[in-house]
Structure 1
Amino acid sequence: MTVAPEFNPLLAPSPLPYGVPDYAAIGPEHYLPAFEAAFAEHRAEVAAIAGQDEPPTFDNTMLALESAGALLQRVALTFYAVSSADATDAIQRIDEQVAPLMAAHTDAIELDARLYERVRSLHDRLDRLDLGPEERHLVRRRFREMTHAGAALDEDAKRRLTDLNQRLSSLTTQFEKNLLADTNALAVVFDDPGELDGLTSGELSAAAEAAAARGLDGRLLVTLTLFSGHPYLAQLTRRDSREHIMTASLSRGGRGDAHDNRGVLLDIVRLRAERAELLGYVSHAAYVTADQTAGRPEAVRSLLRELAPPAARNARAEKGALQRLADASEPGPTPLVAQDWAFWAERERTERFDVDTAALRPWFEAERVLREGVFRTATLLYGIAFRERADIVAYHPDARVFEVFDEDGTALGLYVLDLYTRDSKRGGAWMNSLVTQSRLRGTRPVVVNNLNVPRPAAGEPTLLTLDQVTTLFHEFGHALHGLFATVTFPHFAGTAVHRDFVEFPSQVNEMWLLWPEVLAAYAVHHETGEPLPADVVERLRASEAFGQGFATSEYLAAAWLDQAWHGLSLAEAQRVTDVAAFEAAALADIGLDDPAIPPRYSSTYFAHVFSGGYSAGYYSYIWAEVLDADAVEWFRDNGGLTRANGDRFRQRLLGVGGSKDPLEAYRDFRGRDARIAPLLTRRGLE
């Protein structure tokens, strides 16, 4: 369906505050025509820059480039928020069409020979140009990124590269589509509440609500999470119910049906290896890390191999303790398997620390966690305030909009929270932007947090698990990064930093959820108003390192799988035909091949690396945690939750966005490079 430009709300600036997209006026039929118009406009803008006769200057090249593409960015941010959080059939069809078009358009810009020569000329003369720090960094980054993208290749190689990029964009879109469909198809249906013994009334109501939404009235539906396990595995007393959920989760994308991802991921691996070879790298991992703080895959593999043996050692000790507990409780010896680990770990935690984390949910009512935990902490640290804007409509009725103000009352931006799971939302949790900040364009940030919390029945409170509370604090750390980054150029806006640095601010924000002053404010029983008892808090803190052998092992296993797939040369990638066999060999290679501890993400549902932006970069979480643990030590040594500390962190790290080398920014904040010792202590890996 063709929409005339004058009737397409995407082709004009939004009339809503902060330029938030006018989703009430936007229909699926508007997206493709808007993309086509935006592509054409951006190509014309870049052609005018590249084709001018005047010698390159910062203003006529770099500044002009930063001014170009505003329409395309607006359309893209508007669409991709929906394609990840509310991917109806119509949106998925558009996504499949747009993916190769976007890849081709990006290549047309990044590989433009005339534009590259202008950027190269400025880069070569950088020390002779009168530029400020952000301007100099922009020249360096643009030149590095265009070179890395293949701008220095000859024309035949560029045509081949463009073909590879378009094919990859289609395949990664297909991977995500398959995963969403299979995750929905494999949601586990139960007929009798007794099968879900151990769940709370709120969790049972959420399961009933999910079933009713699919027309399964009177039954119960447990939807799957993105990662291998499931929060309910820690509570369900029936072993067969735990087995049903875990089996369904582990089988996603590998059942030999229309949603099978094995062939898709093998094609992705081969094409990425072929592209890396074309660009002069031995592997996709070498290509990716060359433009990250890690620098090369050997540095990543060295860290993972250093951490894996002590993690596996600790996991074996944990497994022995859980097996003894299971043997003493079950009639006859029952070998501990994957679906049982969380169940017995929770009982071990309860026995050792007298803390049952599942029983804490009445103290973690979602609205109070948000306002008195997440928001209040940000106010204490940074002086910001929040006001809900029910008058601003987001992309889905579940998405709530909050206006954010600085301490002096200045409007800073908008924060959107989309808390609940639904069939049209991809799994996991994430942050994205609807509008990014830029002094050049006069825009202020609009950031989104997505989680996948089951929705309770009408009238029931939303009670979070401790893991979900942690996730909310984590994703809000990304949101703060997006809100606070204050830059001139759109290129550096928000979280536009190196992939292996981007998790650092979000992981730091997790520290506050158990901070005494913070916990006391939000951990209040939703019925009685009683605070979480002090002795429970003490035991909860004492148990923070509990289970780190398992947690570290499952994470490292996934990070190693990512490196194994993307560390293949083209010749090696072409020889791999069996996904399961390759995965098994990779896990054995690093000593993390215990079936009771499956990787946090197995290959066929590893969305981070096969449909997201973390290919050869899933190591980023542990890499960034070195900085995180070191920064947390600084906060503790310097008084913790104070405005002075928050202002320093905001100004020297969050506020610079991508306008400064990230490790230089960290040294500016910390006064030195990060040390690994705090991370080893945190995870019990000394």
Structure 2
Amino acid sequence: MLTKAIRALSSWGLFFRAHNNQQVRYLNKSRFAHFNNIQQICRQGGYEPLFGSRTGLFELPELSDPNGFYLLKENAITQAEQLIAEAMYSHRKRKMVQIFDDLSDCLCRVADLAEFVKVGHPQGRYAQAAEHASLAISSLVEKLNTNRELYSALRSVIENGDIVPTTNAEQHVGRLFLFDFEQCGIHLDEERRQRVVALNDHILYVGGQFLQNSHRPRYVRQSGMPENLRAFFNRDGSENLVVSGLQADCSNELVREAAYRIYLYPDDHQLGLLDELLRSRHELARLCGFDTYAHRVLKGSIAETPENVETFLSYLSAELGPRAERDYQEMMGMKKTRSRHVKRLEPWDVPYFTSQAKLNKFVLDPREYMAYLSLASCMEGLDMIFNALYGINLEVVKPERGELWHSSVVKLVVKNATEQSRNSLASHMGVIYCDLFERPGKPHQDCHFTIQGGRRRSDGSYQIPKVVLMLNLPRGESGVPPLLTPSLMDNLFHEMGHAMHSMLARTEYQHVTGTRCATDLAEVSSCQLKWLLALTRLELSSKPARHNCRFSMRLWTTSIIQNTH
């Protein structure tokens, strides 16, 4: 199937041809030309309808106003209370796993939505309202995690069977719900259970503090820095120099050494936080019946035990050892060309000489390959991949008024190509909101947010998945489409892999839909898509004459290696 897909993708070269330093007329006729015209669209206020009633964010009528989050939260709490009562009712009619999945869905549809809006919406009122809703739902979840009656009702079904026969998949989902309970210590006595709750809160707080502090710049008095190095560092307006990173790309070894030693100098406060984090994690694991925190984290994963992880890492180290030695000797040789008295490679040398080795071997101006990588070209390529592999298409659609949170967001509908001619409703598999462009105040992170998980409803219909794809791509200059580097294109393909995982899962229960699978499986679809991208590059670049495409093998390979970190 992959070979067929790669062959089908050879036509992608047609889209690259449009950028041979000429014009983008072809791409402007593309179904994805919208992505290349984003500057003009934003200046015009977006592509939502200017008139008509407002539907609200994500087509939720309540969210035509920020106060709608209060209504969503209250409705979710009311529905949750009804489902809890149903789960504990001795004469219930439905399977326990169906009730629990309904409970999970009603809470997740508010919590997941709020998690995105509080970081992704540019308007403070929406973000603040979303944060309040998120806190309220999180508080309710914490209470449910300590509800012994609810836990006992579920455990009885898992151990003794339900009122009607259940499938293997339903039993698996039920065990996952039970595992979530027990991760929170629900099976312990009251004193130890409260200690588990307190430890979980403490671990979240301490871990957050540690991560936040790990990116703080360091300050050193100018008098403590050799005079010939001071110009390489910024000043904070007083007598201090600011060391905000490792200066890994600086050719001056003394600057790299100074930055390394200062930025990574042991911090007693950070060491204290780390010790407290490790101690608390170990106590939590022991309370929950595990030998170590590693045993707790790995339970239910592919690795299963710390011993298996150690075996894997030892094998990997042995396999990579000779290659690492060759790289080390090559970097040593590069360093010796600069000084005859070099005895070893220092830690601050490795990133610099790694970068230099790539530049020396693959000399290429990024402008040579970026001209081929417009965002519309990449979206065309993704559409071809998905059609060849899965028989689906991406379609840019016009949103409802008030559905989007920013004028640069593009709405994609995922459609089953084999069903489109017969039943438009059946062909509709999900929605991907593409929030791809950088803007002031937007988080600098590439990620995939689930807004609504896919699942089978009680009436037999299917709740389609809705996700947000968030990246920080440059918009492009006026009259020039957004152009991507290979690393940005890899990020796009990686996150689109997560989105497609959500679209194609089609699970009966939302608790296990898409990326809500085992953590060590969540990256499979993204890695597969990036791997296929690499194969596609070689397929396309090996046939320049056939497609009149001047994007050669050398250009692909060089661009990839230059942008690999």
Alignment partners' CA distance in 1, 2:63 and 2:188: 45
Does the 8 A contact of 1:413 with 1:444 survive in 2? yes
Does the 8 A contact of 1:289 with 1:297 survive in 2? yes
**Partner in structure 2 of residue 239 of structure 1:** 251
**Partner in structure 1 of residue 469 of structure 2:** 449
- Residue 415 to residue 245, structure 1, CA distance change in 2 (3 Å): farther
**Partner in structure 2 of residue 405 of structure 1:** 415
Cα distance, 1:266 vs. partner?
4.8
Alignment partners' CA distance in 2, 1:303 and 1:87: 44
- Residue 318 to residue 521, structure 1, CA distance change in 2 (3 Å): closer
Does the 8 A contact of 1:178 with 1:253 survive in 2? no
Cα distance, 1:507 vs. partner?
0.8
Q: Which has the higher contact order (CA 8 A, sep 6+)?
A: 2
**Partner in structure 2 of residue 274 of structure 1:** 283
Please give the secondary structure, in 1, of the residue aligned with 2:316. Answer: helix
Does the 8 A contact of 1:273 with 1:284 survive in 2? yes
User: Which residues in structure 2 correspond to 1:590-601 (within 5 Å)?
Assistant: none
Cα distance, 1:22 vs. partner?
6.5
Cα distance, 1:344 vs. partner?
4.0
**Partner in structure 1 of residue 44 of structure 2:** none
Alignment partners' CA distance in 1, 2:203 and 2:139: 11
Alignment partners' CA distance in 1, 2:472 and 2:453: 24
Please give the secondary structure, in 2, of the residue aligned with 1:293. Answer: coil
**Partner in structure 1 of residue 334 of structure 2:** 325
Alignment partners' CA distance in 2, 1:269 and 1:278: 14
Alignment partners' CA distance in 1, 2:325 and 2:134: 44
**Partner in structure 2 of residue 432 of structure 1:** 449
Alignment partners' CA distance in 1, 2:372 and 2:341: 37
1:607-635 deviations in whole A, cap 9, x for unaligned?
xxxxxxxxxxxxxxxxxxxxxxxxxxxxx
Moved more, 264-273 or 301-310: 264-273
**Partner in structure 1 of residue 514 of structure 2:** 494
Q: Does 1:382 align with 2:402?
A: no
Count of matched residue positions in the alignment of Structure 1 and Structure 2: 471
1:299-346 deviations in whole A, cap 9, x for unaligned?
122212322344354234213213423544x58778766666555435
**Partner in structure 2 of residue 113 of structure 1:** 148
Q: Does 1:79 align with 2:114?
A: yes
Alignment partners' CA distance in 1, 2:117 and 2:182: 32
**Partner in structure 1 of residue 240 of structure 2:** none
Which blocks of at least 5 consecutive residues in structure 1 are unaligned? 1-13, 186-223, 552-686
Alignment partners' CA distance in 1, 2:372 and 2:416: 27
Q: Does 1:53 align with 2:70?
A: no
**Partner in structure 1 of residue 529 of structure 2:** 509
Alignment partners' CA distance in 2, 1:250 and 1:508: 40
Alignment partners' CA distance in 2, 1:248 and 1:38: 53
Does the 8 A contact of 1:403 with 1:414 survive in 2? yes
Cα distance, 1:275 vs. partner?
1.9
Alignment partners' CA distance in 1, 2:501 and 2:468: 12
Choose 1 or 2 for highest CA Rg. Answer: 2
Cα distance, 1:175 vs. partner?
5.9
**Partner in structure 1 of residue 550 of structure 2:** 531
Alignment partners' CA distance in 2, 1:88 and 1:263: 38
User: Which residues in structure 2 correspond to 1:172-187 (within 5 Å)?
Assistant: none
1:371-413 deviations in whole A, cap 9, x for unaligned?
2322221122112112223425434444322111111221111
- Residue 489 to residue 459, structure 1, CA distance change in 2 (3 Å): same
1:284-313 deviations in whole A, cap 9, x for unaligned?
221111122221222122212322344354
**Partner in structure 1 of residue 404 of structure 2:** 394
- Residue 429 to residue 521, structure 1, CA distance change in 2 (3 Å): farther
Cα distance, 1:271 vs. partner?
3.1
Alignment partners' CA distance in 2, 1:15 and 1:178: 42
Alignment partners' CA distance in 1, 2:137 and 2:255: 42
Which blocks of at least 5 consecutive residues in structure 2 are unaligned? 1-53, 220-243, 421-426
Cα distance, 1:254 vs. partner?
8.8
Alignment partners' CA distance in 1, 2:415 and 2:500: 12
Please give the secondary structure, in 1, of the residue aligned with 2:451. Answer: strand
1:533-560 deviations in whole A, cap 9, x for unaligned?
24444x559x87x999xx7xxxxxxxxx
**Partner in structure 2 of residue 67 of structure 1:** 102
Cα distance, 1:72 vs. partner?
2.5
User: Which residues in structure 2 correspond to 1:309-348 (within 5 Å)?
Assistant: 309-328=318-337, 330=338, 341=350, 344-348=353-357
Alignment partners' CA distance in 2, 1:82 and 1:447: 12
Question: Could you tell me which amino acid in structure 2 is paired with residue 295 of structure 1?
Answer: E
Question: Could you tell me which amino acid in structure 2 is paired with residue 391 of structure 1?
Answer: P
Please give the secondary structure, in 1, of the residue aligned with 2:435. Answer: strand
Does the 8 A contact of 2:334 with 2:353 survive in 1? yes
Question: Could you tell me which amino acid in structure 1 is paired with residue 157 of structure 2?
Answer: L
Cα distance, 1:356 vs. partner?
3.8
User: Which residues in structure 2 correspond to 1:78-477 (within 5 Å)?
Assistant: 78-85=113-120, 102-126=137-161, 130-171=165-206, 239=251, 251=263, 266-328=275-337, 330=338, 341=350, 344-349=353-358, 351-352=360-361, 354=362, 356=364, 358=366, 361-392=369-400, 393-407=403-417, 408-409=419-420, 410-421=427-438, 424-440=441-457, 442-454=462-474, 456-477=476-497
Please give the secondary structure, in 1, of the residue aligned with 2:456. Answer: coil
Does the 8 A contact of 1:95 with 1:173 survive in 2? no
Cα distance, 1:45 vs. partner?
2.6
TM-score, normalising length: structure 1: 0.58
Question: Could you tell me which amino acid in structure 2 is paired with residue 41 of structure 1?
Answer: T
2:503 to 483, 499, 506: 483
Alignment partners' CA distance in 2, 1:369 and 1:247: 41
Cα distance, 1:35 vs. partner?
7.3
**Partner in structure 1 of residue 10 of structure 2:** none
Does the 8 A contact of 1:23 with 1:394 survive in 2? no
Alignment partners' CA distance in 2, 1:86 and 1:248: 37
Cα distance, 1:76 vs. partner?
1.1
Please give the secondary structure, in 2, of the residue aligned with 1:434. Answer: strand
Cα distance, 1:272 vs. partner?
2.7
**Partner in structure 1 of residue 227 of structure 2:** none
Identity %: 19
Q: Does 1:40 align with 2:77?
A: yes
1:560-579 deviations in whole A, cap 9, x for unaligned?
xxxxxxxxxxxxxxxxxxxx
- Residue 356 to residue 265, structure 1, CA distance change in 2 (3 Å): farther
- Residue 162 to residue 46, structure 1, CA distance change in 2 (3 Å): farther
Cα distance, 1:48 vs. partner?
0.6
Cα distance, 1:80 vs. partner?
1.0
- Residue 321 to residue 437, structure 1, CA distance change in 2 (3 Å): same
Does the 8 A contact of 1:104 with 1:166 survive in 2? no
Alignment partners' CA distance in 1, 2:540 and 2:385: 12
Does the 8 A contact of 2:448 with 2:470 survive in 1? yes
TM-score, normalising length: structure 2: 0.69
- Residue 540 to residue 69, structure 1, CA distance change in 2 (3 Å): same
